[in-house]
Amino acid sequence: MTRSILTGAMLVFATVALTFQVVSQDAKPTKQSPPMSTEEQAIPDKSIAYATPNNHHKILGAKIGKWHDTLRFWPDANSQPHQSTCTSEFAWTMDGRYVTEHTSGTTPGGPFEGMGWSGYDNLKKRYVKAWIDNTLTGIMHFEGDYDAKTKTFNYASETPDVEAGKYVYNRWTEKWVTPDRLVVESFVTGTDGKEFKCFEITYERAK
């Protein structure tokens, strides 16, 4: 009796399995996925375009190399500038996506060291920069554009005002005077509400 029950169960299982196999083989999809939209098809191309360096990045390549820097700093609109000298080296990184800067020297306040990164954001369609140095505990961020007619980068940033205890608007320019001379100027608003130049760097390409 037990053998008959087991034999019958095995036959039923085999029949069900065979039927499921036949049905699975004969079954055909009744509905296909809809084709990708034009927008969906463009996503990979957009991602590639965003990640690919272009002519905007090449403009930054003029900085590549070693430079001698003359720095001048004005504490306020009526003061005489403090002056010091440094050296800087610019190099490509991340396969031509960014330019790195490493600056070192001596200032009236002691040894100075700073590092920066510059690039062009293909999504924002703007030049971007970040800067750190041993006189800061924050990271300065810049965004701006390049004027090909005047060969000038025009950036907006915020700089720390330790007396006021806050960050304040900072206008920053980088102008090519010659291929071997770059002048950087930084402007902030004084206590009288007027803009004044607080910082200047003159880069002379090392020969």
Q: Per residue of the chain (207 residues), what is the pLDDT tens digit? A: 433 333 343 333 334 343 434 434 444 545 566 676 766 666 778 899 999 999 999 999 999 999 999 999 998 888 899 999 999 999 999 999 999 999 999 887 889 999 999 999 999 999 999 999 999 999 999 999 999 999 999 999 999 988 889 999 999 999 999 999 999 999 999 889 999 999 999 999 998
- Residue 33's pLDDT is what? 61
- Residue 46's pLDDT is what? 87
- Residue 191's pLDDT is what? 86
- Residue 108's pLDDT is what? 79
pTM of the entire structure?
Answer: 0.78
Q: What is the DSSP string of the chain?
A: -HHHHHHHHHHHHHHHHHHHHHHHHH---S-PPPPPPHHHHHHHHHHHHHHS--HHHHHHGGG-EEEEEEEEE-SSTTSPPEEEEEEEEEEEETTTTEEEEEEEEEETTEEEEEEEEEEEETTTTEEEEEEEETT-SS-EEEEEEEETTTTEEEEEEEEEETTTTEEEEEEEEEEEEETTEEEEEEEEE-TTS-EEEEEEEEEEE--
Query: Which residue segments constitute the domains of the chain, with CATH numbers given?
Result: 2-51 (no CATH), 55-205 (2.40.128.20)
